[in-house]
Structure formats: C-alpha cells, structure tokens
Amino acid sequence: MDDTGRRCGGCVACCRHFPIEELSLLAGQKCPHVRRKGCGRYALRPASCRDWSCRWLGDPDAEGLRRPDRCGYLVDHLSGVARIVDNKTGAEMFLEVANVWLCRTEVVSSPTLWKSFIDERLFEYLYKKKLSCAIRHGVNPTALMMFNPEHTGAPEWLDKAVQMSPGFQPGVEEMTRLLGKSVVDMLEMK
C-alpha cells in the first residue's frame, strides 16, 4: 500500500461495523477487542483485520474523504460487482461498485433514505474513480445502489434499493473476467 500519511488514530469504525469471520462477528457487531485507543490485541489480530483497510486509509486518491468515524461511513477497499439485466432484452452488464458501509447504529429505516447520510465528498471520490456504489448497513440484506453518471449517461447520480444476492459472490478471478480489468491493485492495498 502506498503510504498516504493517514493513520487510524482514534478511529475504530471498521472494528464496530465490519464482519470479521475469524471472530464470528456479523456486519454491525462491535468487536469485543475494541479499546478506547484502538485494538486491544493488535499483535494478535486476525488475518481479516491485517489484510483490510478502508479506502480513506489506503488510497492516495482519497485525500478528499474524511476519516470514517468523523463522516459516518467507510468505504471498503475491495470492490464488488453489480449485475445489471435489461428487462426487455435480457442483456447483462457488469459494473464495479464500491461497498460503502454506514457506521451509524441508528440507521434502520428505509434504505432509500440512506443517501442522506452520505456527503458530497464521497460522490466526488467515486466519480473520480469511475465507481458506482452500494450503500449498506449492518446485516440488512438491502443495499442502496448509487449509479455513477459515467455508467448511466444520466446528468446526475441515480439510486435504486436492491436485494443483495448471496448466490452471486464472484472471487477475484471471476471479478476480473466480468469487469474486463484487473482487480489485483485493490487487493494489494493493505
């Protein structure tokens, strides 16, 4: 990972909201090792924690974003893939989407309202990165898709609440094939 000069400092947003398989933590569950100044078992933290960072921390292009605990959302460094199907023709297309996790415990109402918790800085960042995004909260199976104007040709961002498809979780090679480009750079951000 390039050294962006940014540091987690007092932020433990991912430790409160991100799923950690080794610790059997679901999205939205606070890790029991969170302490006032950070991780209470930093040297022994699991691989999921070692291998992951949010984009604010690891992406040199994210200088316009704010630290996740201050802005209320975090952007996963790993993209996802959205499959878009034309209802008339059945034609498929695949979009690279950033997973954006809301870091607010009280966000439980309609996903269509979730975009009101996102600031303009995120959209500027995503526009620059040519990414659409899926705004998510905890284990809620719904995501609010926000479509980048670059992807739709529309003059502004369009949104649509969608159900996440647990049966559609392509690995790195499959993502690379579907998107027609390498996703390895994103995986190497640590």
C-beta of residue 113 within 8 angstroms of C-beta of residue 132: no
The nearest distance, CB 106 to ligand SF4, in angstroms, is 19
The radius of gyration of the chain's CA atoms, rounded to the nearest angstrom, is 17
Site for ligand SF4 in 28-47 (CB under 6 A): 31, 33-34, 39, 41, 45
Residues that bind ligand SF4 (rule: CB under 6 A) add up to a total of 21
CA distance 42 to 159: 38
Query: Does 74 participate in binding ligand SF4 (rule CB under 6 A)?
Result: yes
Q: Residue 11 interacts with ligand SF4 (CB under 6 A)? A: yes
Q: How far is the CB of 30 from ligand SF4 (least distance, A)?
A: 9
What is the CA 171 to chain-centroid distance, rounded?
16
DSSP code of 169?
A: -
Distance CA 65, CA 87 (A): 36
Helix ranges, 63-188 (H):
68-71, 120-129, 149-152, 172-179, 184-187
Per rule CB under 6 A, is residue 128 in the interface with ligand SF4? no
For residues 166 and 29, the answer to whether their CB atoms sit within 8 Å is no
139: tokens are 């284990």
Which two three-digit tokens encode residue 82? 């959205």
Q: How far is the CB of 60 from ligand SF4 (least distance, A)?
A: 15
Decide: is 125 part of the binding site for ligand SF4 (CB under 6 A): no
Q: Which is nearer to ligand SF4, 101 or 157 (by Cβ)? A: 101
Through-space distance between the first and last CA atoms of the chain, rounded to whole angstroms? 5
One of 28, 56, 59, 145 touching ligand SF4 (CB under 6 A):
56
Task: Point out which span in 66-74, 105-113, 139-147, 151-159 binds ligand SF4 (CB under 6 A).
Answer: 66-74
Closest CB to ligand SF4 among 49 and 183? Answer: 49
62 binds ligand SF4 (CB under 6 A): no
Site residues (CB under 6 A) for ligand SF4?
Answer: 8, 11-15, 20, 31, 33-34, 39, 41, 45, 49, 53-54, 56-57, 67-68, 74
